[in-house]
């Protein structure tokens, strides 16, 4: 039976690929992640897997939930699952269930299992074999999906993770044990317990256990198995000997059970070659042959020796290594294959591991010419005695960096005039530090003229696009307060939008899309970024598609839809009458009135992701929440198709709209405002609460709480954002004091977060 599955932590490397595999296997799949913006999201979108914060609210009924171990009990999604009595499995458990009836190749071990798994996948794909796979990472080649389900082949290759005990759910056909070192002291009480689960996995393996030659621990753990034990290395059952290498490739002579042949593989360094030999042996076991270029498709795995910046005198790379053995192997490889000094920035991963290995980390980093240690990435663990970064640096020349913003200031002077490799090492969020540092270097390298955003996009925009510096924003909002934007653009084509957001991303310039500015507070200091406005001239088309469907450009005003709906006798849009925004703004805000929301009418939306990727999706791919749609945060909405609820005479529709308009006129102020300032708390009205504490008419400067509606702050002339903020604080404090309700803002503040202002 096919399932309806909600995958939690879907943007991560573990859950995302499994979600894709499950989708391709014919299940209905959707995901959620608290942290979005990762490259996994593109693969999810390609597989048509929407991200939904509350699938029940979006009309889905999951009967199964897969969760990353990082989603801890008490998480709001798990509370929802409990409320709906839905079965929850950890990633490993779900993976084990999904491959239970397959010929399963399990890749396990302490270091390099993602790389080895990727190498096996790549070699099988190059050999033209039909098989399924689930990688626990992303290929560096963005066109190589991290998972695939075969409809015909029984073979599935995936790595299995020992960190949370779910390894005990697998019974593979072939197990590939890359190596085994003591790790995960948070889960296993001692080494014997860790060895025990590996021994049990080997015992459950039916056909073959593949291990490296001369690994004493794995030899011991594979003694007396029913399955055949196959050894791979310079000697053993499958042999691979190095006969030559350059900076990117190694030439190997294969022997033993391989057909005696010479191959060229795009890897360097002893540990990469060892992983490659294992992968080729497994490929041979399955396909009985090896091509002369068996890794033609191999471009590596993301976050494994990733080169982020390269100049003659400077190389910046990032790697996921987080165990002392991995770090030692990585740094040895860098020293062997690159000239110059080595500077390492290391972020320990998990407090328990840091406590366990503080001195081993110190030793592994010793090979660097200079090494810096960042605070521990906790991965949700509470701090433990002896598990902080100071335990790693203790009594050594290593330096602790508490403030990560200081990184480039500290490193750059050390690289001047010396050939250098800077390596960012760790499994936490250190990749962002690495990317930031590389971005700073790229910007330094740009000619002075192109450091300027206007110059960066010059010549790339269409002839009708508008770009200006220093744009006053007060006149672009209905409240009429606020300062100047550093850059302002009106794109005329989809490509203009892509050029703008990608150039802004490259230069580290934040951007923000503004519609009518009718739910927006611009601060007096303005916005040090790029404002994008979808001008109605190019983005305002409203088309009746027939069948009650209306297509609208994101820059069209809601009143235009009301006009067309009334003219063509289409019902269901009456509630939009009088909301002064655009289609784009109203979708992002899920605008509503009189008990209806715009998402009640959405059929599909067309938008660009913050990375500039063009997407279209149906209504059920979005969470429609109270004045919010999380999937559209940071997006550039281009257009939408809305569907009416039925037909009615134009007169009747106009009459309903007039009545609604009349109601608004009598209950809302006409002065400049940003609409309702605060969200209505559950079963209450912010306006009534504000009125009941006697704040109507209160003013600070020219900002005043409307006498007509307590939830509107109006601009009586020359109000400033400072006045508006002060009033908002006063309202929140008084309502909380008198009514024990903490009001949350409905309006958006440009370029800041409310938690930092109120
Ligand atoms: C007098 C008055 C009455 C109002 N009545 C109501 C009401 O009854 N119901 C209601 O829900 N709201 C009401 N509002 C608030 C407001 O009109 C709506 O929220 C409206 O939908 C906002 O649209 P906008 O184009 O002005 O968006 P903006 O205020 O410009 O922007 C709001 C948010 O949308 C984003 N955004 C805008 N365009 C795009 C785009 N193309 N792509 C991606 N993101 C975009 C912005 O980045 C921002 O985050 C009222 C406001 C006023 C002044």
Does ligand 1 have an atom closer than 6 angstroms to the CB of 517? yes
Residue pLDDT, tens place only, 127-174 = 999 999 999 999 988 789 999 999 999 999 999 988 888 899 999 999
Which pLDDT score, from 0 to 100, does residue 177 have? 97
Q: Look-up: residue for tokens 């976050």?
A: 303
Residue nearest to atom 32 of ligand 1 (CA): 585
pLDDT digits (tens, 9 = 90+) for 473-513: 998 999 999 998 989 999 999 999 999 999 998 888 899 99
pLDDT tens by residue, 41-78: 878 888 888 889 899 988 899 999 999 987 888 899 99
Do the Cβ atoms of 68 and 41 come closer than 8 Å?
no
CA distances from 225 to 151, 206, 208, 482 (A): 32, 10, 9, 74
Q: Give helix 270-287 / helix 113-126 axis angle, nearest 10°.
A: 50
Is a pLDDT exceeding 60 seen at residue 721?
yes
Q: Is the CB of 518 under 6 A from ligand 1?
A: yes
Q: Indicate if ligand 1 lies below 6 Å from the C-beta of 515.
A: yes
Residue 676 catalytic?
yes
CA torsion 739-741-745-751 (nearest 10°) is: 120
Cα–Cα distance between 357 and 355 in angstroms, integer? Answer: 6
What average pLDDT does range 670-693 have in this prediction? 95
The first and second tokens of residue 492, run together, are 């005329």
Give residue 268's pLDDT: 84
Q: Please tell me whether residue 330 adopts helix, strand or coil conformation.
A: helix
Cα–Cα distances in Å, from 122 out to 147, 257, 429, 442, 570?
12, 21, 27, 32, 54
Give the pLDDT of residue 451. Answer: 54
Task: Please give the pLDDT value at position 379.
Answer: 79
More confident residue, 468 or 221: 221
Q: How many helices (H) and strands (E) does the chain have?
A: 21, 39
Q: State in Å: Cα 164 to ligand 1 middle.
A: 45
pLDDT at position 162, please?
A: 86
Q: Residue 589: CB within 6 Å of ligand 1? A: yes
> Which of the residues 304, 388, 601, 627 is marked catalytic?
627
Task: Report pTM.
Answer: 0.66
Tens of pLDDT, residues 253-273: 999 999 889 999 999 888 889
Helix crossing, 91-98 with 15-24: angle to 10°? 30
CA-nearest residue, atom 12 of ligand 1: 591
Give the mean model confidence (pLDDT) for residues 323-344: 91
Tell which one of 580, 666, 680 to mutate to probe ligand 1, the residue whose CB is within 8 A of the most ligand atoms: 580
Q: What is the mean pLDDT of residues 373-380?
A: 90
Buried b (16+ CB within 10 A) or exposed e, 380-407: ebeeeeebbbebbbeeeebeebeebeeb
Ligand 1 center from residue 573 Cα (angstroms):
16
Identify the band that residue 37 occupies on the pLDDT scale cut at 50, 70 and 90: low
Q: How confident is the model at residue 644 (pLDDT cuts 50, 70, 90)?
A: very high
Cα 566 from Cα 728, distance rounded (Å): 38
Instruction: Name the pLDDT band for 305 (thresholds 50, 70, 90).
Output: confident
């Amino acid at each position: 039976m096919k399932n309806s599955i909600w995958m939690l932590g879907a943007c991560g490397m573990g859950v995302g690929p499994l979600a894709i595999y499950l989708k391709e296997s014919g299940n209905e799949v959707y995901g959620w992640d608290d942290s979005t913006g990762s490259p996994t999201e593109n693969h999810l979108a390609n597989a048509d897997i929407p991200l939904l914060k509350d699938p029940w609210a979006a009309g889905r009924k999951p009967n199964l939930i897969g969760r990353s171990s990082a989603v801890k009990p008490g998480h709001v999604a798990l509370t929802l699952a409990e409320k709906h009595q839905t079965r929850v499995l950890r990633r490993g458990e779900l993976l084990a269930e999904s491959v239970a009836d397959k010929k399963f190749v399990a890749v396990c071990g302490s270091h390099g299992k993602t790389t080895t798994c990727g190498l096996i996948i790549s070699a099988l794909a190059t050999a033209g074999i039909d098989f399924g796979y689930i990688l626990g990472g992303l290929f560096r080649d963005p066109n190589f999906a991290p998972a695939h389900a075969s409809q015909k082949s029984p073979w599935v290759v995936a790595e299995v993770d020992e960190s949370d005990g779910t390894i005990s759910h697998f019974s593979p056909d072939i197990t590939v044990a890359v190596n085994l070192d003591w790790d995960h002291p948070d889960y296993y009480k001692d080494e014997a317990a860790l060895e025990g689960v590996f021994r049990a996995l080997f015992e459950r393996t039916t056909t073959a256990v593949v291990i490296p030659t001369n690994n004493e621990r794995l030899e011991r753990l594979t003694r007396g198995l029913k399955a055949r034990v196959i050894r791979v290395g310079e000697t053993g059952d499958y042999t691979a000997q190095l006969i030559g290498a350059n900076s990117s490739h190694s030439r190997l002579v294969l022997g033993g059970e391989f057909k005696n042949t010479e191959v060229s593989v795009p890897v360097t360094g002893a540990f990469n070659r060892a992983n490659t030999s294992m992968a080729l042996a497994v490929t041979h076991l399955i396909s009985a042959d090896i091509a002369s270029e068996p890794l033609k498709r191999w471009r590596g795995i993301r976050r494994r020796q990733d080169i982020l910046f390269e100049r003659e005198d400077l190389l910046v790379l990032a790697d996921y290594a987080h165990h002392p053995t991995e770090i030692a192997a990585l740094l040895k490889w860098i020293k062997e294959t690159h000239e110059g000094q080595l500077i390492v920035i290391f972020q320990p991963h998990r407090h328990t591991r840091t406590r366990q290995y503080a001195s081993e980390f110190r030793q592994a980093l010793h090979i660097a010419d200079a090494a810096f240690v960042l605070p521990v990435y906790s991965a949700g663990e509470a701090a433990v005695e002896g598990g902080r970064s100071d335990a790693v640096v203790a009594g050594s020349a290593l330096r602790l960096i508490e403030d990560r913003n200081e990184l480039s200031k500290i490193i750059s002077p050390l690289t001047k005039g010396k050939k250098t490799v800077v390596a960012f090492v760790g499994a936490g969020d250190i990749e962002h530090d690495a990317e930031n540092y590389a971005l700073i270097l790229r910007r330094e390298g740009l000619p002075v003229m192109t450091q300027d955003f206007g110059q960066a996009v010059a010549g790339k925009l269409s002839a009708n696009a508008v770009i200006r510096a220093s744009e006053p924003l007060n006149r672009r909002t209905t409240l009429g307060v606020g300062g100047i934007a550093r850059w302002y653009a009106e794109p005329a084509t989809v490509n203009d939008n892509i050029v703008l957001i990608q150039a802004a991303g490259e230069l580290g310039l934040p951007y923000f899309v503004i519609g009518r500015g009718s739910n927006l507070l611009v601060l007096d200091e303005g916005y040090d970024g790029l404002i994008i406005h979808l001008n109605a001239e190019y983005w305002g088309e409203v088309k009746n598609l027939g069948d009650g469907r209306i297509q609208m450009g994101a820059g069209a005003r809601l009143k235009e839809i009301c006009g067309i709906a009334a003219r063509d006798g289409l019902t269901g849009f009456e509630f939009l009458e009088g909301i002064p925004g655009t289609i784009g703004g109203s979708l992002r805000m899920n605008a509503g009135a009189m008990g209806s929301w715009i998402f009640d009418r959405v059929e599909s939306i067309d938008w660009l992701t913050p990375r500039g990727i063009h997407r279209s999706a149906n209504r059920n791919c979005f969470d429609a929440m109270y004045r919010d749609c999380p999937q559209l945060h940071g997006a550039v909405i281009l257009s939408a198709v809305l569907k009416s609820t039925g037909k009615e005479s134009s007169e009747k529709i106009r009459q309903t709209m007039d009545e609604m308009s009349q109601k608004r006129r009598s209950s809302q102020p006409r002065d400049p405002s940003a609409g309702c300032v605060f969200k209505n708390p559950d079963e209450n009205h912010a306006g009534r609460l504000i009125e009941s504490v006697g704040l109507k008419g209160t003013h600070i400067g020219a900002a005043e709480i409307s006498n007509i509606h307590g939830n509107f702050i109006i601009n009586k002339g020359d109000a400033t954002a400072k006045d508006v903020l002060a009033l908002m604080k006063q309202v929140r404090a008084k309502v909380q004091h008198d009514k024990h309700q903490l009001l949350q803002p409905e309006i958006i503040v440009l370029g800041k977060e409310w938690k930092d202002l109120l």
